[in-house]
Structure 1
Amino acid sequence: MDLDLGRIGIWSVAFTHGDRGAAREAATELEELGYGTLWLGGSPGGNPRGDLVTTADLLAATNRTVVAPACVSIWHQSAPALAAAYHTLPAPMRNRLLLGLGVGHPRTDQDYHRPYTSLRDYLDKLDGLDHSPAPIPRVARILCAHGPRMTRLAATRTAGVQPHFTTANHTAHTRKLLGDGPLLAPSVSLVRETSPSTARATARAALAPYLAQPNYANHWLRSGFIVDDLTDHGSNRLIDALFAWGTLDQITDRIAERLAAGADHVAVQIVADSTHGFPLAQWRELAEALN
């Protein structure tokens, strides 16, 4: 089984937390617009339950699109339970399902401990399942991570990695760590606004929950930012590196930059005032520009 994610997908919290009927309608249209993958985003804690009921809804509403919960917290669902839920889906649906796995954050997950070892052990449990339930295939899972150890783990134990809130330089570095084979599917957050002050204010509101997380802070410091960049809601330097904003041409150039840096697929998050809404007009506009 080989999953074809396409070059561009849509990452949205609304798929997880928004109206389910509207989510199905949006999924159908996004497939028609040519987006290859729907990423079911969540809070900084991810998509804790790995809600495969919602996933099944979106798979049923589409014919070709890959659906990817991003990310299922290993603290909230055991490996056997996740595998059992995965195998309750019909085979044609499983053939379009990519499960994102993550460790969440120390400030939002009370069970958080030894993240690398715990995630490695979780993958061991998934692979150790023999009859009931059967394992989740390696090609049907991806790690939601940005650190070098997790990236190397993703390269050997899963289809690849999806880093969130990273830079183009990070994408290039991650490609080198992964090598040529594994999937690299970074998310890129877009703000469709040409006013610098308005665009940055919108971006800062979206970034605020992540600035409070030490694992993200450590990641940005490793990426060349300094402590001052992470204070006072994030410096302009940090915001401009993590968010694409401006004209449509400027935004599509930032997406192309990630592909040129080594990404196989870009998961686009359009940041708007309402995180639970479906910005169909902007998705349509972006699809036309990308085509």
Structure 2
Amino acid sequence: MKLGRLGVWYSTDKLDGSQLRDFVRTVENNGYAALWYPESRGYESMSLATYLLSCSEKLIIGSSIANIYARDSYTALRAVISLNALYGGRFILGLGVSHIPMVEGLRGHRYDKPLAAMGAYLDGINKSAPSGEPLPVMVAALGPKMLALSAAKSRGAVPYNVTPQHTREAAAVLGPSKWLAVEQKVTIEADPAKARALGRKELSRYMVLPNYRNNWLRLGFTEAELADGGSDRFIDAMVLWGDADTIKRGLHAHFEAGATHVCLQPVHADGDFAARDRMLAALADA
């Protein structure tokens, strides 16, 4: 599998079947290499991957992320093998440890120490994997220890809610032979107040999650900058806004920092899918 340069990340739970099909075709027809989707409270990850793959011809579909508490490692292994066998080698299994509310509150499991839990899960996949080419399995890694684990036991990392500074640090840990697929939120909006309001709304669900907050603090943001919806400096770092050329420069900063793949996430008003699609068309040649 060759992972292309530019992809799209999008929260698919907000779309029904026909909307998903149309969206996949929009992403593919604009020439993006991959479409990444999360696993939260909506669609089950492997079921959704099957549908997205069936709606596309060449597009790589990546889970970003599949929750390791949602299925055991052997089931995850069989899923990645099965989907690639059935759909021409176009599926990447991105894995994550999720968050305590999603694991203990929603699923009723015990949330173990993230590094140990992910290490054991990857060991379970790798010990039963067929010999030959490494499996297209990646890890939603943020901290240096999880990044090092990603380098040792998977094809690379799929960091989320990060900056080019983090991309540079992640690339140094992973090394040149690994994939580094970075998510970046974008909105083509020239008005600072409107752009930041969209950004604050999109980021609000993440602001209360320790995994992300701890990483933002590692990157140099302060508790004060993370309070009350986030400072302008923080929002501007998390969500690129302005005209298409300005956003493209922001995306290029991740490549210059060592990303092998950048997946942009269009941020728009609820239900404004036309704005989403305009952004995808305008940024496809980034």
| Fold shared, TM-score > 0.5 on shorter chain | yes
Match of 2:17 in 1: 20
Instruction: Tell me the C-alpha RMSD between the 2 structures.
Output: 2.2
Query: Post-superposition shift, 1:103?
Result: 0.3
CA contact (8 A) 1:186 1:266 kept: yes
Shift of 1:254: 0.4
Conserved 8 A contact 1:194-1:245: yes
Amino acid at match of 2:280: W
Q: Is contact 2:38–2:66 with CA below 8 Å preserved after alignment?
A: no
Distance in 1 (alpha carbons) for counterparts of 2:62 and 2:81:
15
Query: SS at 1:62's partner residue?
Result: coil
Taking structure 2 as the reference length, the TM-score comes to 0.91
Q: Which moved more, 1:138-147 or 1:252-261?
A: 138-147
Q: C-alpha deviations, 1:249-289, integer Å up to 9, x for none?
A: 111110111111111010110011227957222211222x5
Shift of 1:136: 11
Find out whether 1:36 has 2:36 as its counterpart: no
Asked if structure 2 preserves the Cα contact closer than 8 Å seen for 1:128 and 1:135, the reply is no
The whole-number CA distance in structure 1 between the counterparts of 2:151 and 2:82 is 27
Structure 1 partner of 2:49: 55
Alignment partner of 1:225 is 2:213: no
CA contact (8 A) 1:18 1:277 kept: no
Letter in structure 2 aligned against 1:28: R
Q: 1:240 to 1:78 in 2, by over 3 A?
A: same
> What is the aligned residue count?
280
Is 2:233 the partner of 1:237? Answer: yes
Verify the 8 A CA contact 1:245 1:251 in the aligned structure 2: yes
Distance 1:248 1:89 in 2: 35
Q: SS at the partner of 1:100?
A: strand
> C-alpha separation between the residues in 1 aligned to 2:225 and 2:215?
13
State the 1:163 CA deviation: 0.8
Which residue pairs with 1:207 in the alignment?
203
Is 1:77 equivalent to 2:71 in the alignment? yes
Once the two structures are superposed, the pairs formed by residues 105-254 of structure 1 within 5 Å of their partners are 105-110=99-104, 111-129=110-128, 138-254=134-250
Give the superposition deviation at 1:86: 3.4
Q: Is the 8 A contact 2:80 2:93 kept in 1?
A: no
Change (3 A) 1:206 1:182: same
CA–CA separation in structure 2 for the residues paired with 1:71 and 1:18? 18
- SS of match in other structure, 2:3: coil
**Cα shift readout 1:82-134 (whole Å, capped 9, x = no counterpart):** 2333344361526110001000112332122211001100111112226xxx6
User: 2: distance between equivalents of 1:159 and 1:82?
Assistant: 15
Task: Report the more deviating stretch, 274-283 or 245-254.
Answer: 274-283
1:101 lines up with 2:99 in the alignment: no
1:201 counterpart SS class? helix
Between the aligned residues of both structures, percent identity stands at: 30
| 1:26 positional shift | 2.0
CA contact (8 A) 2:166 2:219 kept: yes
Structure 1 residue matching 2:264: 3-state secondary structure: strand
State the SS of the aligned residue for 1:232.
coil
Deviation at 1:53? 2.3
Task: Name which of 6, 9, 23 aligns with 2:7.
Answer: 9
CA distance in 2, matches of 1:179, 1:286: 28
Tell me, in whole angstroms, the C-alpha distance in 2 between the residues paired with 1:198 and 1:271.
Answer: 11
Amino acid at match of 2:187: V
Q: Displacement of 1:27 after TM fit?
A: 1.4
Whole-angstrom distance in 1 between the partners of 2:132 and 2:32? 25
**Amino acid corresponding to residue 128 of structure 2 in structure 1:** L
Give the conservation status (yes or no) of the 8 Å contact 1:4–1:66.
no
Say if 1:138 and 1:157, in contact at 8 Å, map to a contact too: no
Per-residue CA deviations over 1:65-84 (Å, capped at 9, x if unaligned) read 11001101111111122233
Distance 1:146 1:199 in 2: 26
CA displacement at 1:170 relative to structure 2: 0.8
The 8 Å contact of residues 175 and 263 in structure 1, kept in 2 or not, is answered as yes
CA deviation vs aligned residue, 1:212-238 (integer Å, no higher than 9, x gap): 011111111111111101101111111
Displacement of 1:40 in angstroms is 1.1
Q: Given that residues 184 and 265 in structure 1 are in contact (C-alpha distance below 8 angstroms), is that contact kept between their aligned partners in structure 2?
A: yes
